[in-house]
Amino acid sequence: MTQPRPARPVLWPEIRAMLLAAMAIFLYTISIGILNGTDLVDFDQRRILGHVHGGTLGWLTLSVFAASLWLFGAGPALTAMERTAARWLAVAGVAAFVCYIAAFSLTYGNMRPVFGTISTVVIAGFFTWVFVRAKKVDLGVPHWGFLAALGTSIVGGVLGILLAIRIANGTDWLTKNLDGAHPATMVVGFLVPVGLGMAEWAFTFPAPPRATRLGIIQMVFPFLGGLVLMVSILADITPLAPIAILLQIIGFGIFIKRMWPNLRAVNFAEAGPGRHAVLAAVSLLGVIALAQYLVIKYEGDLDLAPEHMLLALDHTQFIGLMTNSIFAMLLSATVGRKGSLVDHVVFLAVNIGLLGFAVGLLADATVMKRIFAPLMGTGLLLGLAVFALRLLEVEVRGLTSSEPAPSGAAGQ
C-alpha cells in the first residue's frame, strides 16, 4: 500500500512541466560533466559554457521558478490574469533557456546576447509575478529568499548580456571585469538566498510560517553580499571582497541559529527531505570557508585563484547546496516525509560522489576526479529518473513508501 500523495497546488501543471523540463536539460549537463570529469572527451569552451548554463539556468533556475509558483501561488485565490501570466511565463522560461543554452553550446556570436536578453526578460517577468503575489500572501523566510534571489538574477542577467555582447563583437568600451562580476553576482546574490530558502522550506513544506524579523535579516545579508561583491569586481575594489564574504557568514550564522533544532533532529537513517537540507547547509559552509580562504590568499582577486579550486567551489555550491535543496523539495512534493530504498542510493551516490570529486579538484588529483565524477553523475541520473516517474505519477514498486504523508493543504 503506497502512501497518499501530498496535496497539489492550483498551478501544479505549470510547476510539474517546468520541473520535468529542468530535469531533461540537466541530463545534458550531467552527460557532459561525466565525460569531461573522466577525461574521456576534451570539450571546447562552447560546450563547457553550455554545460555550465544548462546547470545554472536549465536545472537550477527553472526549478526555482517552479518553486516560486508553489510558494507564491498559495494563499488568496489567483486571479485569471495571474494564472494566465504564470502559464505563459512557464512556457517562455523553458523555451528561452533551451535556446540560450544551445547558443552557448554552438556559437560565440550574437545569438548569445539575443537569447540572453529574452531570458532576462523572462526572469524579470517571474520577479514581477512573485512581487505582485507577495503583497497578497503571508510571507515566510523562504519567500523573502526567493524575492532577493530573483531580484538579483535580473542584475546578473544584464551583466551576462553585456559580457556576451563584448565576446561576440569585441566591444572594448565594456568593462573587462564582466567575466568575473556576472558569475559572482549569480552565485552569491542568487544561489545563496534561494538555497537557504529552499533548505528551510524542506522542514516546513508546503506552507512556511510567517517570517520573523531575524529570518528576514538572515536573507538581507547574502543579498547585500552579492551586491557588494559585484561592485568589488566591476569597480576593481578588491578590499570589498572580504566584506561580501563576511555578509555571507553572518547570514549563514543566523540560518544555523534559527534552524538548529530542525537540523539537529534529522534522522539520517530515514530517506526524507531533511537530510538533503542538512547537506545543503554543510555544503554552503564549505563554500563560504573555501571562498574566504581564496579571498585571503589572493588578496581579494579571485582571478588569481587556480581554476581547479574555483571548480571545486562551483560544484559544491551547484550540487551540494542547490541540488540537495531541490531534491529536498522534490521529495516533499512527491512522497512526503519518507522515501524508499532508492532515495538512500541517490543520496549517498550524489553526496559521496560530490565529496570525492571536490576533494579531487582541490588536490588537483586526476584519479579521484575520474572515480567520483561518474559516481556523482550516476546518482544524479538515478535521482532524476525517480523524481520524473513520481512527477508523472507512474507507479513503480519500491519508489514509494507506505508511511503516511503529512497532513496540510498545499493549494488554495
Number of other CB atoms surrounding residue 276 within 10 Å: 28
> Pseudo-torsion of CA 23, 27, 30, 36, nearest 10°?
-160
* Residues sharing a CB contact under 8 Å with residue 294, sequence separation 6 or more, in sequence order: 302, 305, 309, 310, 313
249-262, pLDDT tens digit by residue? Answer: 999 999 999 999 99
Residue 11: closest CA among 64, 61, 86, 89: 86
Q: What is the DSSP string of 289-338?
A: HHHHHHHHHTTT-GGGS-HHHHHHHHHIIIIIIIIHHHHHHHHHHHTTT-
> Pseudo-torsion of CA 5, 273, 199, 53, nearest 10°?
-80
This model's pTM is above 0.85:
yes
Integer Cα distance of 196 and 249 in angstroms: 12
Query: Does residue 407 register a pLDDT over 50?
Result: no
pLDDT band at 306 (very low <50, low <70, confident <90, very high): confident
Integer Cα distance of 16 and 375 in angstroms: 27
Integer Cα distance of 174 and 233 in angstroms: 14
Confidence (pLDDT) at 300: 61
Confidence (pLDDT) at 340: 86
Number of other CB atoms surrounding residue 49 within 10 Å: 18
308-333, pLDDT tens digit by residue? Answer: 888 898 899 999 999 999 999 999 88
Integer Cα distance of 265 and 274 in angstroms: 9
Query: Does residue 397 register a pLDDT over 80?
Result: no
178-210, pLDDT tens digit by residue? Answer: 777 777 777 778 888 999 999 999 999 888 999
96-107, pLDDT tens digit by residue? Answer: 999 999 998 888
Cell numbers of 162, please? Answer: 553585456
Confidence (pLDDT) at 405: 40
Distance of CA 105 to the CA centre of its chain: 21
Structural domains in the chain, sorted by start: 12-391 (1.20.210.10)
Sort 213 into a burial class: Cβ within 10 Å, 0-12 / 13-18 / 19+: exposed
Lowest mean pLDDT among 208-217, 294-303, 392-401: 392-401
Measure the N-to-C terminal CA separation of the chain; round to a whole number of Å.
Answer: 28
131-166, pLDDT tens digit by residue? Answer: 999 999 999 999 999 999 999 999 888 888 888 888
Confidence (pLDDT) at 377: 93
Sort 136 into a burial class: Cβ within 10 Å, 0-12 / 13-18 / 19+: middle
Integer Cα distance of 53 and 105 in angstroms: 9
Confidence (pLDDT) at 109: 84
Integer Cα distance of 118 and 116 in angstroms: 5
pLDDT band at 406 (very low <50, low <70, confident <90, very high): very low
53-74, pLDDT tens digit by residue? Answer: 888 889 999 999 999 999 999 8
Confidence (pLDDT) at 189: 81
Confidence (pLDDT) at 301: 65
Confidence (pLDDT) at 179: 72
Mean of the per-residue pLDDT values of the chain: 87
Cell numbers of 138, please? Answer: 503571508
Confidence (pLDDT) at 95: 96
Residue 16: closest CA among 276, 249, 330: 330
Integer Cα distance of 21 and 61 in angstroms: 11
Average pLDDT over residues 358-372: 92
